Structure 1
Amino acid sequence: MSIFLGILFAYFFKLPKTFISKKVSTIPLQIGIVILGATISLPYALDVSSEYLPWISLFVVASFFAGLLIGKILGIHRRIAFLLSAGAAICGGTAMAAIAPIIKAKPQELLIAMTIIFLLNALAIILFPLAGNYLGMSNFEFGAWSALAIHDTSSVIGSALIFSNESAQVAATLKLGRTIWLIPLILIANWIFNREVTAAKFPRFIIFFILAIIINTLFNFNYEVQNFLQTISQAFLIVGLFCIGTQFNSSELSSLSGKPLILALMLWVAVIPSAYYLVKYF
């Protein structure tokens, strides 16, 4: 909604290039990602996710590179394929918002990737609990399944909470294992998209993101502090996405096709049964 509001705002008010939302560009997104880092504690995530961490890592890596491969086969522009692959493999909109400024994604590209992931997340919240009940999954199994197969953290928790409180706790804990992959994702994205530009500077917000994780690891923030930081992070992300929306150029939207949706659906169709088989039989 934030992106669409930005688009409508720019459309009706015919914003000049010097308008503040265009000048600040992706800075609010970067601030939001840095604050998000302060809610991640590496030792805690590794401890609680130890049983599933190897499988989570395998899912993340396999999904990400499968997305890039499918995108190449379908002839999708590599920025869109990179956004969708990152969103599907790690943590949906958060991952895409984190790498968008690094890969210099156009507002239209981020918009279509966000829209696709949003639609799949909306379906997941409705269909996953129904499927879990039909398949007779336990609370732990459903929480693990949601954490592995659904994209955005909010949708993971939403789906699991409909099933049971225990499922939500399991899902939130295991989802951290995927969120941690934001760190190598950001580094890989910078290396792939900026290595050819000798004058490109290493994105400073990546350093602050890692420092924020270290600070949380050292001080072990309690639940209240982390909840406050998550709220602040979401606020900056929402503002940042609004700014992205105001940079939208409708003339370039015609270059996009239905192929990105096919890519996201193909990844999801492969991940859902694979994740179910893993949590049910391993």
Structure 2
Amino acid sequence: MDRTRPVPGRKFLDMQFSAREIIFIIIAVLCCTNLISAPVALLLGLLVAQLVGHPWLHLNHKVTHWLLQISVVGLGFGMNAHAAIEAGRAGFGITVVSIVATLGIGLLLGRWMRIDKKTACLIATGTAICGGSAIAAVAPAIDAKDKQISVALGTVFILNAVALFIFPVTGHLLGLSQMQFGTWAAIAIHDTSSVVGAGSRYGPQALEVATTVKLARALWIIPVSIIASFAFRKKGQKIQIPWFIGLFILAMLGNTFIPAVQTFSPYATIIAKAGLTLTLFLIGSGLSRDVLRSVGIRPMVQGLITWASIAAATLWFIYYFV
């Protein structure tokens, strides 16, 4: 027998993981179980980022990007099209007003605080529509530099993490219905991941409303990107269309009208929720000390005031009129 011949799988078995990598893998696996909730996963990610660091940070953005989209599509298998249409119709008017108001407040604050125009635009867009996804779509349209993108992403992700914890608590204190909370979360929380995380923590109807309204809101990435490209005189740039929203709609329609799809829908939903929890852990673990330091005071203040203004205004409207 030739002992020099490589054994299939031997290379993998001979791999040695560092303590940091082992800790990261263990927590990531636990996030795929029912033992860790979405907010706890995000908190664990933040702790890992500060204490031991992300061992594969260079891959984090791409992995979270795809994992979030796949998870959102999976959540579509747990939703009913009739209820989603009703929720989307109810939230359309307030969605339009809130997007325009948030963009206006954010841009005016950026100008008043003398923040770089492109950075201010990215922060306002991320707060108005859907966090990191909106920033990633608008950045090439305005030819933003890496530093401007990282500052905007850092600002939005930090505030997004805070929102995931305080929104459910606020909703319970005010006695918001699941319909009210789902609408508020979809409008006032930045990223889709945290919107879904907060909605699932509040209740099943809140999750359905929050996801539907948020994904409808995400479609505004397209017109806002086009307007931004003209505003910054950058014509002909490609716009990143959120195609996963179409797959989400197909999954929802299949779950509503096709009995064969309904048989495996519960399993797809369970897997999707586990993927979402893992996504939040990865997002938290990507907020390294360098990212936190790069944000700076003024962009953070701009993001905080813009976010607090729209969150308070929409909460008041939803509490009294929805």
TM-score (norm 1): 0.68
Give the whole-Å Cα distance in 2 for the aligned partners of 1:257 and 1:136. Answer: 36
Q: Is 1:93 equivalent to 2:127 in the alignment?
A: no
The residue identity in structure 2 corresponding to 1:203 is Q
Equivalent position of 1:221 in the other structure: 250
Give the whole-Å Cα distance in 1 for the aligned partners of 2:56 and 2:304. Answer: 26
Equivalent position of 1:193 in the other structure: 232
1:104–1:6: structure 2 CA closer, same or farther, 3 Å change rule? farther
Q: What is the CA deviation profile of residues 134-168 of structure 1, one whole-angstrom value per residue up to 9, with x for unaligned ones?
A: 11111111111111111101111111211112111
Q: Percent identity?
A: 31
> 1:144-155 residue pairs with structure 2 within 5 A?
144-155=183-194
What secondary structure sits across from 2:232 in the alignment? helix
1:50 corresponds, among 81, 89, 92, to 89
Equivalent position of 1:163 in the other structure: 202
Native 8 Å contact 2:140 2:238 kept in 1: no
Equivalent position of 2:105 in the other structure: 66
Equivalent position of 1:122 in the other structure: 161
Equivalent position of 2:220 in the other structure: 181
Q: What is the CA deviation profile of residues 220-278 of structure 1, one whole-angstrom value per residue up to 9, with x for unaligned ones?
A: 632589999xx8xxx9xx9xxx9xx9xx9x9xx98x74110110111122112211112
Native 8 Å contact 1:46 1:53 kept in 2: no
Q: Is 1:278 equivalent to 2:317 in the alignment?
A: yes
Give the whole-Å Cα distance in 2 for the aligned partners of 1:76 and 1:94. Answer: 22
What secondary structure sits across from 2:90 in the alignment? coil
> CA shift at 1:177, angstroms?
2.6
TM-score (norm 2): 0.60
Q: What is the CA deviation profile of residues 56-113 of structure 1, one whole-angstrom value per residue up to 9, with x for unaligned ones?
A: 0110011012111110011000010011000000000110011112222221211121
2:150 corresponds, among 91, 100, 111, to 111
Q: Is 1:75 equivalent to 2:153 in the alignment?
A: no
User: Unaligned stretches of 5+ in structure 1?
Assistant: 10-20
1:113–1:205: structure 2 CA closer, same or farther, 3 Å change rule? closer
Paired residue total: 232
1:7–1:114: structure 2 CA closer, same or farther, 3 Å change rule? farther
Native 8 Å contact 1:132 1:142 kept in 2: yes
Return structure 1 stretches of 4+ with deviation > 6 angstroms: 3-9, 43-47, 224-228
Higher relative contact order (CA 8 A, sep 6+): 1
